[in-house]
Amino acid sequence: MKARGLSLVELLVGLAVGMIVVAAAITLFAAQLREQRSTSVELRLMQELRATTDLVTRDLRRAGHWGDASVALWALSASAPAANPYAALAPLAGASSASSYAYSRDTSENHRLDANEQFGLRLRNGVIELQLGAGHWQALSDAGSMTVTEFEIRPIVQDVPLLAHCPRPCPPGTACDARLQWRSLAIRLGARATADPAVQRRLQSELRLRNPAVLGTCPA
C-alpha cells in the first residue's frame, strides 16, 4: 500500500484555517484586555471621585464652627446676642462661579476671624484645591488619576422662626425676625480619567452644616 501525504493545496488550506483561528483568538484576547483595562480605569476614577467628594464633604461640614457659641443665645436681658464670626459662606473673592467657595471655622477662640481660620475650595487647572489659612492652597485631588471637569457647590437654606424662644414676646404692630437658618450644601463633582479621557463620571452629594446661623433679633 502506498502512503500518500498532503498536497500543496491541502497544506495551504490548513495553514490558512490555522491562521484564521489564531487571529480570532488574538482578537478575542485583545478585546478582553481592553475591557479589563477600561473597567480598571473606571473603578479607579470612581474611587478617586468618592475619596475627593468625601474629603470635600468632611471639611465643609465643619464650616461655621464656633467654640463659644453660647454668646449667640438670647439672654433674659435686652442685650443683643453676638453674631457668629465664622458664619459666612460665599464664593471666593473675585470668583464668578460656584467652582470656588470660601468659609471659616474656629480654631482658637478669640471671637474674631483670624488668618489661619480661613478656608476655601476651588477648581484650578483640573484639580480641586483646599485652602488652609489665608493664601495657602494644596491639591485635594490627584491629577495623575483624574482631571476634574466640573465642581459646583450650591447652598440650600431653610429659615425656622425662633420667636417662641425669645425672652419677650413681639409687641403688636412691630416686626420681629429672630430665626434659625439651617444650611445645606449640594455638591456636584465631575471628572475624566487621565489614562483614558473617554472615561468620565460624576458624583453628587448633599450635606447639612452642623452649625446653623442665628439671624435677626428678639424683641427688646
Residue with cell 430665626: 179
Sketch the domain layout of the chain as residue ranges.
34-215
For residues 91, 87, 115, 124, the Cα torsion angle rounded to the nearest 10 degrees is -20
CA–CA gap between residue 177 and residue 84 (Å, rounded) = 17
The per-residue pLDDT string of the chain (220 residues; one tens digit each, 9 = 90 and over) reads 565 666 777 778 778 888 888 888 888 878 877 777 778 888 999 999 999 999 999 888 888 888 776 666 655 444 566 777 777 777 776 665 667 888 888 877 777 778 888 888 999 999 999 988 877 889 999 898 899 999 998 888 888 877 666 767 776 666 677 777 888 999 999 999 998 888 899 999 999 888 777 777 776 6
CA–CA gap between residue 122 and residue 105 (Å, rounded) = 17
pLDDT digits (tens, 9 = 90+) for 60-93: 888 888 877 666 665 544 456 677 777 777 777 6
Looking at the DSSP assignment, which residues form a beta bridge with residue 214? 180
> pTM here?
0.72
CA–CA gap between residue 19 and residue 152 (Å, rounded) = 54
